[in-house]
Structure 1
Amino acid sequence: MQRLAGLALLVLCAAPAAAMAQQRQQQAQQPNYQPNYNAIQSQQANQQAILQDKLRTNQLLEEQRQRNAAAIRQPQSGNPAASQALDLSNQAQQQRFDARQRDVVDQYRAASSTAPVVLPQPVRQSTPKKPPPSALDQLHPTPPQQQPTQSPPQH
């Protein structure tokens, strides 16, 4: 009976120990990564610069369109039908401009809300450094090992 109890105790203790050993082995196989924060910040700064550039470009195009519309409107100032058509056109162009600006901002938000596409760099394990030579080694350095010389092949 004592043997059976001892065997049962051994089985109960061996299962968790085996699970822990397997978990340690899996952890040892997985590389340890840490995020590359400089790359993430660089990517975010790049996205912000692209956003500002698109917004600025759209704004300049809108200002040019408004100048062109004012130049076209001037000769048509006495014609009410032409003025009404120009107003409708101007309103449609303004709505397109607003939609373009919202689209650029929405694209930026979508890109910045997702996780960055920066791949993490593996954490480098420090390699053991060679200890400095002792005083004895400095007084009597060991000669470098000589490589055996190969004789030329004989025919």
Structure 2
Amino acid sequence: MFNGHARFHNATFDGGTVFHGTTFNGHAGFDDTTFDEAADFGKAMFNGTAGFSGVTFTGPTTFSNTDFGSERVTFDGPLRWGPPAPEFDWDQHVAEKPANVEPRDWPPAPARTQCLPADPRSADKRSFAIIESGDWRIALRGGVLRRKSRQWRPLRLR
């Protein structure tokens, strides 16, 4: 049970996560949180506002028999919505979704994200990276990338 605010903003849960039967009496903040494996919110109770905006669900996730209370609960712009898609009691009949759970149009549309990584092996010196999400766009051009530990990482942009 969480009696105050429970904030997990930008957290990453690497293993299975269990909030089964947990009561959240204050704000429950899971915005921009990543669940890399199974997440169980079954029979949880949200008595305050809750935010799952920008969340990433990559494994089996359930909200079955969850009480979403009467305060605002948002799932706007998830970065990843499965597969498999999280399970909710209204999956078969979206009209049964509580009015306080957003977005109104269900299921939520994943945030529009595109990433075109610059590749230093490319002969094209004009290679660039674009990252888009919602209303913002970042374009990196002419950056120098170097390989380290099997991952490309940006160095100084000139």
Q: Structure 1-normalised TM-score?
A: 0.17
More strand per residue: 2
Q: Which structure: larger Rg?
A: 1
Larger relative contact order, structure 1 or 2 (CA cutoff 8 Å, min sep 6)? 1
More helix per residue: 1
